[in-house]
Structure 1
Amino acid sequence: MGLKATLSKVFAAWVNRDINKLRANAVWLQQKTLLQLVNQAKNTAFGRDHHFDQIKTYDDFKRLIPIRDYEELSAYIKRVIDGEENVLWPGKPAYLTKTSGTTSGVKYIPISKESMPEHIKAARNALLSYIHETGKADFVDGKMIFLQGSPELAEKAGIPTGRLSGIVAHHVPGYLQKNRLPSYEVNCIDDWEQKVDAIVAETLKADMRLISGIPPWCQMYFDRLSAASGGKKIKDIFPNFKLYVYGGVNFEPYRARIEESIGFAIDTIETYPASEGFIAFQDSQKEKGLLLLADSGIFYEFIPSDEYFNDNPTRISLEDVELNKNYALIMNTNAGLWGYSIGDTVKFVSKNPYKIVVSGRIKHYISAFGEHVIGEEVEQALLGVANQEGIDIVEFTVAPQVNPAKGELPYHEWFVEFGTAPINMADFAAKVDKALQVKNIYYFDLIDGNILQPLIIRSLNKDAFINFMRSQGKLGGQNKVPRLSNDRKIADGLQEYINA
């Protein structure tokens, strides 16, 4: 074991004491965070407009601060990106993160000098928690790769602007810089496929020990590594590769294929970073869920997801959450987002400590007939049947078909790219449909009442989703295929990839 690995164990034990304080005092830390945020921002334009000087309690806060999504907060954000100071948070942002919105096109999310260190600390602590619990630290002595966006930054009104992963690349601690790949020059390649090929060339002979990135794009990297090495498994290319770090999507749909590519069931760490803030990370290999970061400059609120679109939904803080209930996640941050609906839904799987799983997107659902099917339900239905039958799922998405051929009932249309296809597609689809009925009583009622016919699966050609994302200019980086859509935009775009 090298010096870095030895020292990392000592550092991990020291940091774990702080994390234990977080685990034990999350509610108090959240109450403290709310008042700190309000006090720091009371003299901003937003703070004056919303009477921050009157806020003494969470009830005061709820009364004065409405829930908003990006579009509803955009008038303030526009003032920020036009260069105005003291709008949402004191001064100007340190950065603007550029991200794709589902309804608003490009979004610009502020990162402040106070919030940027929290992104780095959380990523660091996720690795240190792993080291402390498992005692495995050898990966810090070898090379680490982070598949991410370009670190090249533009400017808006003098504010550096870029993708979150590219911004974070400028803040990797010095003690990790020598271990880090790819090189800056390769990381700056804009075209994703050219970039992956360059990363393969640069890393093929490296002592790679940790790999991090969104699962579908890591899978592309693994496929090209294997091709470049004459069909080898990743474990034979990188014999010391021991840890995979991911975030942004549910890993389960990708697990079987990634582990097949690697050649063994690798240790994984799930993280929950967002442009709006680093929300949670997996702090244990033994326990389910991600530790909610209650002391990272974010005050969280939660709305029961089935009330989200009501005129006056229930709105609660951390101390009142219930286990195994879907909540829309609301954030108030030390970068100046207030009552901000990030669009994700979460469930608490533990309250001692507070741990969550990401269950879907509040706007990624199907409710064309009142069924309100969510991402977690379709993933569990499909993967449950696929795992039982040894069927490999590469990628999938689901949309409603409300205008079927004459004489047919409407249905949910599933577009699935299989690694290993079912022998009997109709039988497989029927089993998935039954599984979804068990998950969602409203869907069961619609099937049982002959309002909907059972779901139909469209098998797609190999690399269908890669080719589709390429055609949309969304290949690589942080781009992800939505699991669910309540419209036909993605479904219509996938028609040409159906395996006839």
Structure 2
Amino acid sequence: MSLKSFAARIFAAFIRKKIDSWASNPFKTQEKIFHHLIEKGKKTKFGREHNFESISTHADFVKNVPIRDYEELKIYVDDMVAGKEDILWPGKPLYYAKTSGTTSGAKYIPITKESMPTHIHAARNAILCYINDTGNSDFVDGKMIFLQGSPELDEKNGVKLGRLSGIVAHYVPGYLQKNRMPSWETNSIEDWETKVEAIVDETLKEDMTVISGIPSWVQMYFERLVDRTGKKVGEIFPNFSLFIYGGVNFEPYRAKFENLIGRKVDSIELYPASEGFFAFQDRQDEKGMLLQLDSGMFYEFVKADEFFNENPKRLLLNEVEIWVNYVMIVSSTAGLWAYNIGDTIQFTSLKPFRVIVSGRIKHFISAFGEHVIAKEVEQAMQEAVAETGASISEFTVAPQINPEGEELPFHEWFIEFEKEPKDLDKFAEIIDNSLQRQNSYYFDLIEGHILQRLKITKVGKNAFQEYMKSIGKLGGQNKLPRLANDRSIADKLKETK
């Protein structure tokens, strides 16, 4: 064992003890953060306009600060981007994390001097918890790659802006700089396909031990490695032992990854976003990710099936239940206040609080009142793959409201198979039965002959990559929606057949 590996184990044990301290006192930890946020917020334009001076309890907060998404908070962000100070948080932000918007074009999520370290520490702590949990620290001596956006930053009125992953690249600690890949020059390449080829060139002869990124884009990197060498990734990199991912559920990709690698490797799931680093997997044998309660974020939760009510109840940690679908609302040291990040989560544990991401509040299918969510379609796909031995590269689901002739409407599943099942009808049946078990509304619609069973449409190799490329979202932190309530993606995929 190297000195670096030994030191990592000692540091990991220290950090684990600190994490256990706040995780075992969740309500006190959150209360402390709540009061800190309110005190800071009093000094801002937002705080003055929302009577922060009168807020001392959560009930006061609910009364004075409504839930908002980015579009509703944009008037304040626009002031900040224009160069004004003390708008959402004292002073000016350090950065803006630039993300793709929906109705408002580009979104500029503020990152402040106080919030920036929480992004870095959470990622570091995820790896340290893994070391403490497994005793595996040898990988720290090898090369590590983080597939991410360009670190080149622009500037608006004295504040730098870029993709979150590119901003974070400026904070890689010194002790990892020699291990980190790709090079700054390669990381700065904007075109994703060119960038992947350059990364393959740089890494082929290196001792890669850790590989990190969104699964769909890491898969593309792995495929290029295999195409270039004719070898499995695990043979190219014999010491590759840890895969770190976030952004999407890994399970639909697992079989494909194990085939590309040629063996199993440990993995760590992360839950980062421009708005905050919310959770990470802290135990290999526990389901869910540890919710970050001491990272300058105060959490509220609204039941997903009540979210669009006029005054949905905003719950605190002491009021949540496991396996209920919640919309997560965040107030933070970045200057976000009762902010709807758009994700839905479920708690897998309450001691400590661990979560899984179940989908997006805007990404669902409810064309007929079924309200099918991402977690349900991913679970159904996972069951079908496990039962049939098939493997997939990617998939998405859309409603078909107006089928031809006298057919009943149905859900259409667009699937890029890596290995097709021997019986496609059986594969579809397994998925459909799983959905009916998970979702009583879907079951009722099938039983009531409002919907017919789902249909599968096979798409060609790289069809999803071509779709993402066509909308300018190939690579980086971009993710394909698992499902949509319209056919905007479906119709594009139909054109690729």
Residue 439 of structure 1 pairs with residue 438 of structure 2? yes
Equivalent residues in 2 for 1:353-364, closer than 5 Å: 353-364=352-363
Equivalent residues in 2 for 1:74-473, closer than 5 Å: 74-229=74-229, 231-473=230-472
Is the partner of 2:100 in helix, strand or coil?
Answer: strand
Is the partner of 1:461 in helix, strand or coil?
Answer: coil
1:287 to partner: Cα distance = 1.0
> 1:411–1:452: 8 Å Cα contact kept in structure 2?
yes
1:249 to partner: Cα distance = 0.5
1:191 to partner: Cα distance = 0.2
Q: Provide Cα deviations, 1:347-367, integer angstroms capped at 9, x if missing partner.
A: 111111111111111110001
Cα distance in 1 for partners of 2:385, 2:282 equals 29
Is the partner of 2:106 in helix, strand or coil?
Answer: strand
Cα distance in 1 for partners of 2:430, 2:252 equals 17
Equivalent residues in 2 for 1:48-59, closer than 5 Å: 48-59=48-59
> 2:383–2:430: 8 Å Cα contact kept in structure 1?
no
1:275 to partner: Cα distance = 0.2
1:452 to partner: Cα distance = 0.8
Task: Report the residue type matching 1:372 in the other structure.
Answer: H
User: Which ranges of structure 2 fall in alignment gaps of 5 or more residues?
Assistant: none
Q: What TM-score results when the alignment is normalised by the length of structure 2?
A: 0.99
Task: Report the residue type matching 2:41 in the other structure.
Answer: A
> 1:15–1:128: 8 Å Cα contact kept in structure 2?
yes
1:323 to partner: Cα distance = 1.1
Task: Report the residue type matching 2:188 in the other structure.
Answer: C
Cα distance in 2 for partners of 1:176, 1:217 equals 23
Cα distance in 2 for partners of 1:255, 1:414 equals 19
> 1:347–1:358: 8 Å Cα contact kept in structure 2?
yes
> 1:153–1:161: 8 Å Cα contact kept in structure 2?
yes
Residue 10 of structure 1 pairs with residue 10 of structure 2? yes
1:181 to partner: Cα distance = 0.4
Partner of 1:480: 479
Task: Report the residue type matching 1:389 in the other structure.
Answer: T
Cα distance in 1 for partners of 2:392, 2:234 equals 22
Is the partner of 1:388 in helix, strand or coil?
Answer: helix
Q: Percent identity?
A: 60
Q: Provide Cα deviations, 1:138-171, integer angstroms capped at 9, x if missing partner.
A: 1111110000000000011111000000000000
1:408 to partner: Cα distance = 1.5
Q: Provide Cα deviations, 1:253-290, integer angstroms capped at 9, x if missing partner.
A: 11111111111110000010100000000000111110
> 2:209–2:239: 8 Å Cα contact kept in structure 1?
yes
Cα distance in 2 for partners of 1:427, 1:222 equals 30
1:41 to partner: Cα distance = 1.4
1:434 to partner: Cα distance = 1.5
Cα distance in 2 for partners of 1:195, 1:68 equals 37
> 2:396–2:415: 8 Å Cα contact kept in structure 1?
yes
> 1:98–1:107: 8 Å Cα contact kept in structure 2?
yes
> 1:22–1:293: 8 Å Cα contact kept in structure 2?
no
Q: Provide Cα deviations, 1:50-83, integer angstroms capped at 9, x if missing partner.
A: 0001110111111111000111111111111111
1:475 to partner: Cα distance = 0.4
1:478 to partner: Cα distance = 0.5
1:16 to partner: Cα distance = 1.1
Cα distance in 2 for partners of 1:491, 1:234 equals 32
